Every structure is written in structure tokens, then in C-alpha cells.
Amino acid sequence: MVEAALVLPIFFTVVLGIVEFGRAMMVSQLVTNASREGARLAILDGTTNTEVEDFIYEFLLESVNVAEADVGVTITVDPATGNPDPADQVAAAGAGDIVTIRVSVPFNKVNYIPADYLEGKNLVGLSAMRHE
């Protein structure tokens, strides 16, 4: 009984830590997938920033169950040599422009256990693709 009283709290703490870090890895991968899929949508002609953001919000709502207000999406368009500056609007991007999508979600919005393991940390996904 004494051994169990000493070992079980440590054992359960380690198990809960493994579960939380596993959740962080899974959500981080889904955030990266959301940024990649958003970038794939953004490089198509006729797509707008709003369509890309709405797609990412819906993707994360369905896969991670995180609210739109808790997701940060940043869209950057870097013009290719000789192209005019599209002012970070994917609808104005030209062929060869690099579209970068950055998606972030605070871990405390997706964690299972309200603990301090990753308190204050953001899970970030970043993808860049060349506009078609």
C-alpha cells in the first residue's frame, strides 16, 4: 500500500502528461494541414482572402472543434520579380507570387486537461506555395 501511495501519483502524472503532449502533436499536425490546404486554395485564380480564411476556420472546426474566434490566420503574398505588389490579397496575386498562410491556435483552447503543461503556447502551421 505504501509503494502504491508513492508511485501512483507520479505514474498518473506521467500518463496525463503523455496524453497532453500527444494531443498537442495531433492538433499541431491538423493546424499544419489547415495551413497547407488553405495555401492550396489560395493559389487558385479567383480565390479571395475571405474564402481562404473561411475554409481554414471550417477545417479546424470540423477536425479539432476549435471556434473561429480562437484561430489566427495570416495571409501574406510576396510578389514575384516583375509582378505588382498585390497588398496581401490573393485575388490580386499574379503567376509566380508566393502565398504564405500562417495559422495559429492557442493550446489552452484545445487541451483535454486544464493543466500548465503547455499553458500560453500557440500551435502554429505555416505553408507557402507559388500562385498559379
Sign of the torsion angle spanned by Cα atoms 16, 17, 19, 23: positive
pTM: 0.87
How many whole angstroms separate alpha carbon 101 and alpha carbon 96? 16
Number of domains, the chain: 1
Q: Which domain holds residue 114?
A: 2-130
69-109 pLDDT, tens digit per residue, is: 999 999 999 999 999 999 999 999 999 999 999 999 999 88
Q: Is the pLDDT of residue 130 over 70?
A: yes
